[in-house]
Structure 1
Amino acid sequence: MPIISKIGRKSFKTSILLTSMYVLLALGSVTMVYPFLLLVSGSTKSAVDTPDSVVIPPFLVNDSELYKKHMEGFFNESMTLMRACYQNDASAFRLVESPKGINQKLIDEWSAFLLESNLPHFYYGVSYTTATVSKGVIPKNLRKYKSLTSDRFGGDLKKLNAVLGTQFEAWSNFYVSTDDFMQRYSSIGSTPWENEYYKFKMDVPLNERLYFTADGFYKEMFLKSQYPGGLAQYNKEHGASWTSWSDARLSRTVPAGSAIDRQEWDFFVRNIIHPRWLRISPEIAPAYRAYLGERYGSIGALNAKYGAAYEGFGDIPPYDAAPPEFGIQASDWSLFLQGWKNPESGNEFKIPAELIAITGIDFIFRDWLISKYGDLEKLNESVGTAFKSPNDILPPQAAYHFNDFKKRTGGIRIEFLKRNHLTVFDYLFMHGRALINTIIYCALTIICSLVVNPLAAYALSRFKPPSTYKVLLFLMLTMAFPPVVTQIPNFLLLREFNLLNTFAALILPGLANGYAIFLLKGFFDSLPQELYESASIDGASEIRIFLQITMSLSKPILAVIALSAFTGAYGNFMMALLVCQDRSMWTIMPFLFELQQNSGQGVIFASLLVASVPTLIIFILCQNVIMRGIVVPVEK
């Protein structure tokens, strides 16, 4: 019979009361659902949209926001790299805008140039390989490279380390470094690991590459650092009137302008940019040989250092095309470029600035266009540009990438929706035994809880020993102490029994639960005693009475005990970490704890979301049994 009758519901005051109750319930549901929706939304975040606390991620409904997020991932979360490649002045990815006034013909020329030139791997980097700001994320191309490498070695990390000379402790440590081949300190590696990655780079599609430009590197890594006062300071010292750093141009050879222009260019080529991007005139050969002669004294001493067999210094070729990357030859060439003075004779040797020329993809593209069309006027007429000089020609990377972005907005959205979750799944399930260990641990914990606790409660309820309440008091006292207090004694006992790094170490400390026994005894006491008497008269054994009567009628409370045992085992990370320090015995929670210590907000939210799914599933499976235990006694 309802508390409020049908007639009573027609009252205005009752209607107000019911409406108020529904409103309060609705508001209560919002307070529960809204934080969960924020969690779901946060699980898609990267560094660029971390400050946003909204239920619907902006990149799902706004292409401009998606473009910012795409640029962040494309340039591996490096603003410096983006400014150098695109030659813009944006201070943060949140402020990046899509390019305006796109020239499709120039983009087509750039595409044709890339297909035709087939440049070496050190001319470009690969997008979506690192996430230094978001932390912990495995971007798209890193996932691809990791998958290819794992397939090659059959998932055997030890074999990978042995063959490629790496020292990865786990697949979760798999990473690649951000390419930076313009800096003086950079090097093209020759280890098996680096060569493996370079092979992967060569197979990356053109639209997923970011090309390093000497012009952009000059402005971003040199000019801006020389003028902390910004463009105003530069204009004042150079007598210029630039309105943006994009107005600056790097001269291929020593500039014919002011002395300060020549001085800056000279310092840049000798100390900042890597010699691999310099080309020296063959006229340098006599001076280079004289330098080596004075540095080593004899051809025999040079041959000993170089591992060569030159008959004389005249046989040594100059490195006019590209200098060596490693060894004493590279060191000698670098000293010759910067300038070397013989401490004994006082003679100084240095490559004259007039014999140095800079190369890079921007200069190569410029030469390719001029060669194709003959001169600048024909180029402007055919391509629809308005270049005033060859120096105005720059690679249209921003427009090229934006065109590709517009074609793939759907796929890019899906990538950002799933990549944090894929990172968590990869960390937990793809390599290692976290999932299997968790399933075994939770299953054994539930089974033990449904065997040991009911048996203890049945003995206290059925046979009523004189010490029943003393035993119950002892069991209840265990609830007064937090689990942390017992961790050290448990650890010492398990160590003495040589049970560390076993499932027994996880299960035995919680095998019997005082609170569960207390609940079960109370439930068993409420069962009709006539059933036990009838069963005894019919000759049923205690085991049969326990299984067929007590356990059959106690499904609701058993469901509660099972749910409690599962949540306790599933959420146990500290004890699991303490008694199972071997990673091969870790359950999901220790891995999640480790992941969260080294990850950004997006991955942390995704890990929380993934971790909540098993608990939700178990609760859904148990709720019908629990509700039956609430409803049936009321109906009785």
Structure 2
Amino acid sequence: MAIILQVSRHGWKTRLLIGAMYALLLAGSVTMIYPFWLMLSGSVSSEYDFNDFRLIPKYLFSDDALLGKTLYERYGKTNFATFAARYGIMESCYGWNNLRGTERLLDTLYPEEQKLYRNSPGAVRKILGDYRDFKTSLPPQEIEPLYPDKPAPFREFLRKKYGGDGIPERELIDRINRKWTRAFSTLNTVLPVPGRLYERSWLPSKRPDYDDYMEFVATLPAENRALISSGEFYIRYLMLRFNTVHGLNKSVGGTFRQLLEVPYVRSGCLTEVYDNFVKTYLPLRLLAVRRNPETESLWRSYLEKTVPEQAERLSFFTTVPADPGIRILWGNFLKDSLPGSAIEIRGPEERFREFLLGRYGTPEKLAAAWEITCPDFSAIQLPVKLEDYHLFERDKKELRRNFFFANYREVLEYLGGKSRAVWVTLLLVVCSIFTALTVNPLAAYALSRGKQSISVKFLIFFLATMAFPAEVGMIPGFLLMRDLNLLNTLFALILPGMASGYSIFLLKGFFDSIPSELYEAADIDGAGEFRKFQAIALPMSKPILAVIALGAFNSAYGGFMWAFLACQDPRMWTIMVWMYEFQANNASNSALVMAALALVSIPTLMMFIFCQKIIMRGIIVPSMK
């Protein structure tokens, strides 16, 4: 019977009450859907925009948001200083959060590039073609790979180099460990070994891990290779020494408006600043000493004063020596005894200008090809911003698609390497559902049809198990499995969940409600107890069995703690145990964790949708009995 009679529904008070009830139900549904929607939205975000907490990520419809996200991924989350120095925004932007909050980011970062891109597309292709040819001509030791936070391509390179796709991971890791003399446990723990390109005294070394990484860098496309220009080092030096352009102006008596305007030349009031930068900050591998009688004499004098016993043996070096001891001596010589005019910079800009000189011959020919004003080759800078803008405009659709599926793709790749865990989980789920639908109905039927005095005692015993959380029984269960030599086997996962006090109690109550006349009719037909159980009790309890099957599925599929405790051998880990390790390894990346949770919840959702009607009957029928 309806709670509110049909006649009473026409009054305004009743309608107001019904409207309030619907409003409460709607508000309740929102409180359930909103967090779930946020989780799905977070799963297609990244560390860059996860904390925005938007129902629809902004990068899906905003080019400015997509650009910020692209630059974050391209340069790396910890490399904002590198990006800011390369773009000349160190004074106005102090972190990725500041960049994310910048209005009209495209217009702010690429004003000149947008004009050139619109007005002279042919010149853009020519400039970027020359820049690509120059980068591919350099050895990998001088390259800084972009996308530094994504080690997956390097790991795939190692997989192909050390064994191919068919080799087991354990054997692959053993080969890498022997070659590198390391102790990696899995391929996911292997990280790239980049060069320390920002250190003043660093030179490439002959190490197996570094050599493998350089071999990988040589395979990268030109658009994924970056060059650390000496101009970038100059901006970093000015920020480190003067902090702001006002500090520089006060020190040298200049009138510069921003550090990006400070000329990168040795002249006028900047001579001391330039010399100090070259002698104390710029990496030694980017320097060269002009060889002439004066510099050779200064070298000999410096050796006689500092290491007289080696003065005759050491020759003159125009570039940084490979020997670490002599390298330190050479660096101190540049710093203490050599005038700045005797030092040449051999950074990427300078070599790029030489490359263009060899290709075009004169500034006029270069200016005609690039459609720019070029009085001299010294005015040419590396077209880093133009390349980034070109790639962004070219790949916008693909970038959105890649960002949307990136987290799910990474989780699937991780699970793809754990195919054994999928089969272990599948077998565990099937066996758990089978045993739950076999043991619990048999026990409940026996209690229902047996003597009530004994049944009550057993039922109280079964119900007592519900008074304690599952964690209480884990240690005794572990000791029992150990004594039975069942640890690290499928039986250790299945046996403890075969019977459930709650399921037996639920099924006994349902069997007790079955009319006794049905059993009496079966007795007249000569049916035994098992036949009555099979033909009467089980068919009538399908809704309850569906609820029990869903519970068994959730316990087997979603259980982590017991699965990890009873099976510590990784070969017997279930999907949830591997997901726990995945979340622990990526704890700082909440978006990736959200994607993993959303992905592994799909089987439970599918199970519920598949059994929805039967489950709803299982909820309604007991309340009607």
Same fold (TM over 0.5): yes
**Residue 625, structure 1, aligned to residue 614, structure 2:** yes
Q: Which residues of 2 match residues 578-593 of structure 1 at below 5 A?
A: 578-593=565-580
Q: Distance in 1 between matches of 2:319 and 2:166?
A: 42
Aligned to 1:475: 462
1:609 corresponds, among 595, 598, 607, to 598
Q: Distance in 1 between matches of 2:278 and 2:282?
A: 11
Q: Per the alignment, do residues 74 and 588 of structure 1 end up closer, same or farther by CA in structure 2, a change over 3 Å counting? A: same
| CA distance in 1 between partners of 2:622 and 2:399 (Å) | 55
Q: Tell me, what secondary structure is at the counterpart of 1:500? A: coil
In the alignment, what sits opposite 1:267? 279
Q: Say whether the 8 Å CA contact 1:502–1:585 is kept in structure 2.
A: yes
Per-residue CA distance 1:386-416 (angstroms, 9 max, x = gap): 5676554211211211111111111111111
Q: 2:333 aligned to 339, 362, 370, which one?
A: 339
Structure 2 vs 1, CA of residues 163 and 403 (structure 1 numbering), >3 Å: closer, same or farther?
same
Which segment drifts farther, 549-558 or 53-62? 549-558
Quick check: 1:560 aligned with 2:540? no
How many correspondences in the alignment? 597
Q: How far did 1:530 drift?
A: 2.3
Deviations 1:335-360 (A, max 9, x none): 223239xxxxxxx9966644432212
Separation in structure 2 between the aligned mates of residue 355 and residue 162 of structure 1, nearest angstrom: 51
CA–CA separation in structure 1 for the residues paired with 2:165 and 2:297: 51
Shift of 1:158: 3.2
In the TM superposition, what is the alpha-carbon distance from 1:15 to its structure 2 partner?
4.0
Mapping for residues 277-316 of structure 1, pairs under 5 Å:
277-283=286-292
Offset of residue 491 of structure 1: 1.8
Q: Answer yes or no: is 1:226 the counterpart of 2:237.
A: no
The one-letter amino acid paired with 2:459 is: L
CA distance in 2 between partners of 1:571 and 1:185 (Å): 53
Cα distance in 2 for partners of 1:173, 1:492 equals 33
Contact 2:87 2:385 in 1 (8 A): yes
- 1:6 to 1:539, Cα distance in 2 relative to 1, 3 A: same
Q: Which one of the candidate residues 498, 507, 516 is aligned to 1:529?
A: 516
Offset of residue 285 of structure 1: 6.8
On the 8 A contact 1:113/1:368 being kept in 2, the answer is no
Shift of 1:276: 2.4
Instruction: Check conservation: 1:150, 1:156, Cα contact below 8 A.
Output: no
Change in Cα spacing, 1:287 to 1:519, as seen in structure 2 (3 Å) is same
- Per-residue deviation at 1:481? 0.9
2:271 and 2:87 map into 1 onto residues whose CA distance is 29
Q: CA deviation at 1:428?
A: 2.8
Summarize the alignment of residues 41-440 of structure 1 with structure 2, pairs less than 5 Å apart.
41-77=41-77, 78-89=79-90, 90-96=93-99, 97-98=105-106, 99-102=110-113, 103-104=116-117, 105=123, 108-116=126-134, 118-130=137-149, 138=150, 141=153, 145=157, 152=164, 154-164=166-176, 165=180, 166-177=182-193, 180-184=196-200, 186-220=202-236, 222-227=237-242, 229-251=243-265, 257=269, 260-268=272-280, 272-283=281-292, 320=318, 323-324=321-322, 329-339=323-333, 353-370=340-357, 372-376=359-363, 379-380=366-367, 383-386=370-373, 390-431=377-418, 433-440=420-427
Q: Is the 8 A contact 1:146 1:174 kept in 2?
A: no
Q: Quick one: structure 1 residues 289 and 586, their matched pair in 2 at CA, closer, same or farther if it must change by over 3 Å?
A: farther
Q: Which amino acid aligns with 1:264?
A: N
- Report if the CA contact (8 A) 1:337-1:350 is conserved: no
Deviates more, 1:395-404 or 1:80-89: 80-89
Greater Cα offset, 275-284 or 391-400? 275-284
Q: Distance in 1 between matches of 2:221 and 2:234?
A: 27
Q: Deviations over 1:578-624 (max 9, x none)?
A: 22222222212222222223321111211221122111111112212
The aligned counterpart of 2:120 is none
Kept in 2: contact 1:255–1:261 (CA 8 A) = no
Distance 2:271 2:224 in 1: 41
Give me the TM-score of the superposition, normalised by structure 2.
0.85
1:584 and 1:247 mapped to 2: Cα distance?
61
Report the residue type matching 2:25 in the other structure: L
Report deviation, 1:142. Answer: 5.4
Which residue pairs with 2:102 in the alignment?
none
Contact 1:38 1:54 in 2 (8 A): yes
Evaluate the alpha carbon distance shift between residue 280 and residue 386 of structure 1 in structure 2; reply closer, same or farther with a 3 A threshold: same
Normalising by the residue count of structure 1, what TM-score does the alignment of the two structures yield? Answer: 0.84
Task: State how far apart, in whole Å, the 2-side matches of 1:550 and 1:279 are.
Answer: 92
Are 1:58 and 1:65, in contact at CA under 8 Å, matched by a contact in 2? yes
Q: Decide whether the 8 Å contact of 1:153 with 1:160 is kept in 2.
A: no
Match 1:466 to one of 453, 458, 462? 453
Further displaced range: 486-495 or 168-177: 168-177
> Which segment drifts farther, 173-182 or 432-441?
173-182
One-letter amino acid of the counterpart of residue 46, structure 1: S
Supply the distance in 1 between the matched residues of 2:593 and 2:341 (Cα, whole angstroms).
56
CA contact (8 A) 1:140 1:419 kept: no
One-letter code of the match for 1:204? Answer: L
Does the 8 Å contact 2:234/2:277 carry over to 1? no
- 1:345 aligns to what? none
CA, structure 1 residues 434+486, in 2 after alignment: closer, same or farther (shift >3 Å)?
Answer: same
SS in 2 for 1:51: helix
Change (3 A) 1:246 1:122: farther
Q: 1:408 to 1:298 in 2, by over 3 A?
A: closer
Match of 1:307 in 2: none
The Cα shift of 1:52 comes to 0.4
Deviation at 1:144, TM superposition (A): 6.0
For residue 7 of structure 1, report the CA deviation from its aligned partner: 5.8
Aligned-pair CA distance for 1:635: 9.5
Deviation string for 1:168-220 (max 9, x for gaps)?
31233243245542323545353444333323322222222222212102322
Whole-Å separation in 2 of the counterparts to 1:276 and 1:162: 35
Number of the residue aligned with 1:29: 29
Letter in structure 1 aligned against 2:277:
W
Q: Do 2:155 and 2:187's aligned partners in 1 also have CA atoms closer than 8 Å?
A: no
Alignment partners' CA distance in 2, 1:172 and 1:68:
28
Q: Paired residue for 2:528?
A: 541
State the secondary structure of the residue aligned to 1:279: strand
**Worse-superposed segment, 274-283 or 354-363:** 274-283
Q: CA RMSD in A?
A: 3.3
* Matched position secondary structure for 2:288: strand
Q: 1:490 to 1:634 in 2, by over 3 A?
A: closer
CA contact (8 A) 1:337 1:351 kept: no
| Deviation, structure 1 residue 39 | 0.5
Code of the residue aligned with 1:123 in structure 2: it is E
Contact kept? 2:44, 2:591, Cα under 8 Å: yes
Q: What one-letter code is carried by the residue in structure 2 that aligns with 1:196?
A: D
Moved more, 371-380 or 511-520: 371-380
Shift of 1:485: 1.5
Cα distance, 1:14 vs structure 2: 4.5
SS for the counterpart of 2:44 is coil
Distance in 2 (alpha carbons) for counterparts of 1:598 and 1:257: 52
Residue by residue over 1:227-281, the C-alpha shift from the partner in whole angstroms, topping out at 9 and shown as x without a partner, is 3x42222221122222222223444xx667556325413433xxx4433222233
